[in-house]
């Protein structure tokens, strides 16, 4: 069976069933997703923080809409053959909005979607001012996402809690296990403060777990080898590519400002190939002489 013949969700299931952890560079547009695929990674994640910055030039504080996120995701999923997980924020409203978000992300081609327990407007998990809904409401939110999956949305549910920052580790761990108990496929306990807390979470909660490695964020930046030993299955790097791109663009702009030729740029032939010219021209030749 080819990659295209097998659904992205089925491929994500297969990846989760394999031994070892999955290192996941996060994308924010079709170009970054294609670079991740070309580098050999079997999976990517559409970062809400990065999409908000790159698409609307605004912070990850609930300003970007469901429609903008799902549209960005549809373009990303179309551009690559590897599975893509999408940031679904809080589900953008009540439980019926949560179900619509899950259904919409599945229709856009996502293999998985995160649903979190923050109050709206939500914000980046590694910034100040977060608030979460009560535990019962958080569980109901995840249950609605699971129901959408069970009612036909071909997508995995990643249930995220930000309760560590507001209610402490024990409450956050309890929420994560409750999410598994109502049918979430993966849990994501955001912004843990130490290796010890990460070990406690992985020991106490069943099912696959996701780590979020934000450079200079709240959580210690541990190596993938150590994170796998602790018990994480998925290891996200949500801002690494965007940070690298910003640094490279700033250096190129500084060179131009100083009336110099920027160095270290990709070759134009390589850029054309990444953009799809090689594939386009090959496909075009298939129809030469047929009309």
Q: Which residue has the tokens 């054309």?
A: 272
For domain 8-247, give the CATH number.
Answer: 3.20.20.60
Q: Which two tokens stand for residue 134?
A: 């009560």
pLDDT tens column, 117-151 = 999 999 888 888 899 999 999 999 999 999 999 99
Mean pLDDT over the full length of the chain: 95
Q: pTM (2 decimals)?
A: 0.94
pLDDT tens column, 215-262 = 999 999 999 999 999 999 999 999 999 999 999 999 999 999 999 999
Q: How far is CA 238 from the centre of its chain?
A: 7
Domain ranges of the chain: 8-247
Whether residue 4 is predicted with pLDDT greater than 60 in this model: the reply is no
């Amino acid at each position: 069976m080819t990659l295209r013949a097998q659904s992205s969700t089925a491929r994500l299931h297969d990846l989760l069933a394999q031994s070892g952890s999955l290192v996941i560079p996060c994308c924010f547009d079709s170009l970054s997703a294609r670079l991740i695929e070309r580098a050999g990674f079997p999976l990517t994640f559409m970062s809400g923080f990065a999409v908000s910055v790159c698409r609307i030039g605004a912070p990850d504080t609930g300003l970007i809409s469901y429609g903008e996120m799902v549209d960005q995701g549809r373009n990303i999923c179309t551009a690559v053959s590897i599975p893509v997980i999408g940031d679904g924020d809080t589900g953008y409203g009540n439980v019926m909005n949560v179900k619509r978000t899950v259904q919409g992300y599945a229709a856009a081609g996502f293999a998985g979607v995160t649903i979190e327990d923050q109050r709206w407007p939500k914000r980046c998990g590694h910034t100040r001012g977060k608030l979460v809904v009560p535990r019962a409401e958080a569980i109901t939110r995840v249950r609605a996402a699971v129901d959408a999956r069970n009612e036909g949305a071909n997508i995995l549910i990643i249930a995220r809690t930000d309760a560590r920052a507001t209610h402490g580790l024990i409450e956050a761990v309890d929420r994560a296990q409750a999410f598994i108990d109502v049918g979430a496929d993966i849990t994501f306990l955001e912004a843990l403060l130490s290796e010890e807390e990460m070990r406690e979470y992985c020991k106490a909660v069943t099912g696959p777990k996701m780590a979020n490695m934000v450079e200079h964020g709240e959580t210690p930046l541990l190596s993938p080898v150590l994170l796998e030993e602790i018990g994480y299955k998925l290891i996200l790097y949500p801002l690494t590519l965007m940070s690298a791109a910003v640094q490279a663009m700033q250096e190129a702009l500084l060179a131009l400002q100083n009336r110099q030729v920027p160095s270290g740029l990709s070759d134009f032939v390589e850029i054309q190939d990444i953009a799809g010219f090689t594939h386009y021209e090959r496909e075009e030749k298939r129809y030469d002489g047929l009309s």
